[in-house]
Amino acid sequence: MKDLGQLLQDESGRQFLRDNGVYISLDEFNDALREPTNGGPNRVYGAQQLYMDYTLGVSTKVAALKDLSDRGIETDFIWIDTDRAGSDNLITRFYWPGIGVDNAKGYGSVSVKKAKYPEIRFVELYEEYLANTGREFRKALGAEDKYDAERFQRFWSNFEDKSKLVDLNLSLTEFLFRDYFEYFPEPVVLSENLGGEFSRQLGNVVRDMPAVIEGVNESIDYLKRKDVDPQIGIKDETYLPIYVTCQNDGKRSPLRRLNEDQPYAAANCSCGNEMKFPMGQELSVDYIIRDATWSPDVTLPFLTNDSYSGGVVGKSSALYGIVLNRVMRNVLGKEPIPLFVPVEYTDQLQDIKTGLIPNYFNRK
At 133 the pLDDT is: 86
Q: Where are the beta strands (DSSP E) in the chain?
A: 22-23, 43-49, 74-80, 93-95, 107-109, 186-189, 239-245, 252-258, 264-268, 274-278, 294-296, 310-312, 339-340
Decide if pLDDT at 115 tops 50: no
Please check whether residues 145 and 289 belong to one and the same domain: no
Task: For residue 214, tell me if it sits in a domain.
Answer: no
Taking residues 188-208, report their average pLDDT: 97
Please check whether residues 163 and 253 belong to one and the same domain: no
Decide if pLDDT at 188 tops 80: yes
Taking residues 161-189, report their average pLDDT: 96
Q: How far is CA 129 from the centre of its chain?
A: 27
Percent of the chain with pLDDT over 70: 95
Integer Cα distance of 254 and 358 in angstroms: 37
User: Which residues does 157 contact at the CB level (< 8 Å), separation at least 6?
Assistant: none
* Mean pLDDT lowest among 13-17, 108-112, 150-154, 291-295: 108-112
pLDDT interval class at 127 (50, 70, 90): confident
Integer Cα distance of 265 and 236 in angstroms: 14
Q: What is the mean pLDDT of the chain?
A: 93
Decide if pLDDT at 136 tops 60: yes
Integer Cα distance of 133 and 4 in angstroms: 39
Please check whether residues 37 and 178 belong to one and the same domain: yes
* Mean pLDDT lowest among 32-41, 80-89, 164-173, 222-231: 80-89
pLDDT interval class at 107 (50, 70, 90): low
Higher pLDDT, 143 or 113: 143
Q: Give tens-digit pLDDT for 83-98.
A: 988 888 899 888 886 6
Higher pLDDT, 87 or 290: 290
Integer Cα distance of 233 and 190 in angstroms: 24
At 117 the pLDDT is: 65
Q: Give tens-digit pLDDT for 31-62.
A: 999 999 999 999 999 999 999 999 999 999 99
At 102 the pLDDT is: 54
At 112 the pLDDT is: 57
Task: For residue 219, tell me if it sits in a domain.
Answer: no
Range of the domain at 99: 4-197+301-362
Query: Please, which residues bridge with residue 78 across strands?
Result: 47, 188
Task: For residue 319, tell me if it sits in a domain.
Answer: yes
Count of domains for the chain:
2
What is the full DSSP assignment across 65-101? HHHHHHTT-EEEEEEE--SBTTS-HHHHEEE-TT-SS
Please check whether residues 182 and 124 belong to one and the same domain: yes
Please check whether residues 92 and 9 belong to one and the same domain: yes
Task: For residue 343, tell me if it sits in a domain.
Answer: yes
Please check whether residues 292 and 311 belong to one and the same domain: no
Task: For residue 292, tell me if it sits in a domain.
Answer: yes
The DSSP call for residue 343 is G
Task: For residue 84, tell me if it sits in a domain.
Answer: yes
